[in-house]
Amino acid sequence: GAVVSQHPSWVICKSGTSVKIECRSLDFQATTMFWYRQFPKQSLMLMATSNEGSKATYEQGVEKDKFLINHASLTLSTLTVTSAHPEDSSFYICSAGTRSSLDSEKLFFGSGTQLSVL
Amino acid sequence: SQKIEQNSEALNIQEGKTATLTCNYTNYSPAYLQWYRQDPGRGPVFLLLIRENEKEKRKERLKVTFDTTLKQSLFHITASQPADSATYLCALDMGGFQKLVFGTGTRLLVSP
């Protein structure tokens, strides 16, 4: 199946600093990628839809100036958490889908990034 | 908005038994429903997709049913193994292609 690579797996940063998370589709092109956030024992919450070559679409309640998304190529999307605070500590996961004919609506997920803000 | 309910309590079963997990949704009927497996500290992995015009779908030891009248999907794992222990997530479309809303998941523990 398709592979989505996410980096880093975990990051610890000081409050007020920015953190960049990368999401790559390794063996397919992804015009659309999705960024989710997951708190312990809670559901994945969609933060934004990353569109190649255009602006990301953010879900209600997600601050676009705080969570910067860049999708500069068909295989790479980045999420930058700007001026991170302890409440931003969470598990961030990216996903992408292919346009293959079988079950094209399914998503392939990265391994996630655990962000801890001190 | 769509609301998805999955049993938040862990399901404990013995190896070899059939595990049955439930997913209920409350609003509009989705065009399809998906099931994912998530291990601790990892991203979800796709298992099965069932469409609104399908009653049942199988893949190896997995079986999914979809009842649009009851607004419910059941996920079965037959001949369960300890390696099946994980959290299983139900996901529905949010009205956009590949745009999904997830349930909180049910943790399955299979004892040897």
Q: What is the pLDDT of residues A10-53, one digit of tens each?
A: 999 999 999 999 999 998 888 889 999 999 888 999 999 998 88
DSSP B15: T
Residues with Cβ within 8 Å of B108's Cβ and at least 6 positions away in sequence, in order, are B10, B11, B13, B19, B21, B77, B80, B84, B85, B86, B87, B88
Asked whether residue B102 carries a pLDDT value surpassing 70, the answer given is yes
Asked whether residue A101 carries a pLDDT value surpassing 70, the answer given is no
A82 vs chain B: nearest CA distance in angstroms?
23
> In the predicted model, what is the mean pLDDT of residues A111-115?
97
Q: Do A107 and B46 touch (CB under 8 A)?
A: yes
- Alpha-carbon gap, residue A13 to A30, rounded angstroms: 29
Confidence band (pLDDT; 50, 70, 90) for B95?
confident
Q: Which two tokens stand for residue B44?
A: 């979800």
> In the predicted model, what is the mean pLDDT of residues B44-50?
95
- Alpha-carbon gap, residue B70 to B85, rounded angstroms: 27
Q: Do A46 and B43 touch (CB under 8 A)?
A: no
* B44 contacts on A by Cβ (under 8 Å): 44, 93, 107, 109
Q: Which two tokens stand for residue A45?
A: 């919450």
- Alpha-carbon gap, residue B38 to A95, rounded angstroms: 14
Share of chain B above pLDDT 90, in %: 79
The shortest CB-CB distance from B43 to any of A42, A43, A112 is to A112
The per-residue pLDDT for A115 is 97
> In the predicted model, what is the mean pLDDT of residues A64-78?
93
